[in-house]
Amino acid sequence: MDMTKLLAGLCLAAVTFSAAAEPFKVCADPLNPPYSSKQQDGFENKIAELFAKELGQPLEYTWFPQRIGFIRNTLTAPVNDKEVDSKVFKCDVVMNVPDGSDMTLTTQPYYRSTYVLLIAKGRGWDDITDTKQLVLMPLQRQEKLQIAMFDRSPGTTWMQKNGLLDQGIPYQSMSGDEDNNIAMQLDKDLKAKKIDMVIVWGPLAGYIISQSPKNSYNIIPMVSSQGIQFEFSMAMGVRNGDKDRKAMLDKLIQAKAADIRKIIESYNIPLLDLPKAPQKKADDD
C-alpha cells in the first residue's frame, strides 16, 4: 500500500473523529446562484455537503445576503450577541472567498477561474473570437456594442483602457435586489436583448450558460494584461485565528480535490490550474 495515501487517510480520519461532535456550520447567501441558495443547489452547497458527510457532521446554515456586512453578520457574529466574549458563533465557514482575503483566515485555494467575455450568439457578433476585435473594429460598428459592465470590475477597467466605456451598460455588483442576484439579472437581460455581451467572472458565466440551450454563447477567456488581472484563485474562509479549522479544511481540500473539481465543472465554470504552492523550508514550521 502507498504509505503517503495511508498516512493521508489516517490524518483525515483523525480530523473526522475529533470534529464529529459539532455541526458543520456554513455562512451562505440564500439566493446567490451558482454559489448557494436555500434550496442548496449551488456548488458551495454541494461541496459543503461533501465535507459534512466526510466529517460525519450535520450540515447547518446561517443565511444572510452576501453583501456589505456579510462577515460581520455571520462568521464573526456570536450566537448570543449579549455575550461579549462568546466563543460560539453563528457559523464557522465561508465556502468561497478570494485567496488571501484579509477579512478571513483563508484555506489553501480549491479552484481558480477567470473572467470571460460572454457573447450572445445570433446578434451580429458571432465573428468575434478575440477581445482585440472589439477594440479594432470600425467605429460605426463599435458604437452598436452593448456590453454590461460593473463597478470595481477588471472588465470595466479593461473597457476604460480600450476606449469602450461609451458602449458599456452599467450594473451594480451588489444590487440589493431580493429576487435576483447579478447572474440571474444578466441572464434575463441577455435574453431580453438589453445587452449582447458581458465581461463576467467565470462562475457567473457558468450560471448564465446553464440557463440557455447549448451553444447559445461564445465564451472568450480574458487574459491578464495591461496591468489588469482576470484570473483569481478562490479559497474557503474561517475566523482569523481559527487555525485548527483551517487545518481541517486544508486536509479535506487535498483529500477531496477530484470530487471538488467534478462538482465545480458540472456548473459550466471555466477552471484554470491552481498555481503550485511554494515548498516549505525546514525552518518554516
> Can you identify the CATH homologous superfamily of domain 112-221?
Periplasmic binding protein-like II (3.40.190.10)
Which of the four pLDDT bands, split at 50, 70 and 90, describes residue 179? confident
Spatial distance between the Cα atoms of 79 and 75, rounded to a whole number of angstroms: 10
What are the boundaries of each domain within the chain?
A: 3-110+234-265, 112-221
**Average confidence score pLDDT of the chain:** 90
pLDDT of residue 1: 47
| Beta carbons of 91 and 26 less than 8 angstroms apart | yes
What's this model's pTM, rounded to 2 decimal places?
0.88
The predicted model gives 192-219 an average pLDDT of 97
Q: Cis bond leading into 34, ω under 30°?
A: yes
Phi and psi at residue 167, to the nearest 5°? -95, 0
pLDDT of residue 12: 54
| Beta carbons of 148 and 189 less than 8 angstroms apart | yes
The predicted model gives 21-41 an average pLDDT of 95
Orientation angle between helical segments 3-19 and 243-255, nearest 10 degrees: 130
- Given a cut of 70, whether residue 81 has pLDDT beyond it is no
Determine which helix (DSSP H) or strand (DSSP E) holds 205, and give its type and residue range: helix 202-210
pLDDT of residue 9: 53
- Given a cut of 60, whether residue 17 has pLDDT beyond it is no
As a CATH number, domain 3-110+234-265 is 3.40.190.10
Residue that has been written with the C-alpha cell 439579472 in this structure = 185
Which of the four pLDDT bands, split at 50, 70 and 90, describes residue 282? very low
pLDDT of residue 285: 40
Spatial distance between the Cα atoms of 150 and 172, rounded to a whole number of angstroms: 6
The predicted model gives 66-84 an average pLDDT of 85
Strands 31-32 and 36-37: antiparallel
- Given a cut of 60, whether residue 283 has pLDDT beyond it is no
pLDDT of residue 82: 62
Distances (CA, A) of 21 to 58, 183, 278: 9, 37, 34
CB atoms within 10 A of CB 216: 15
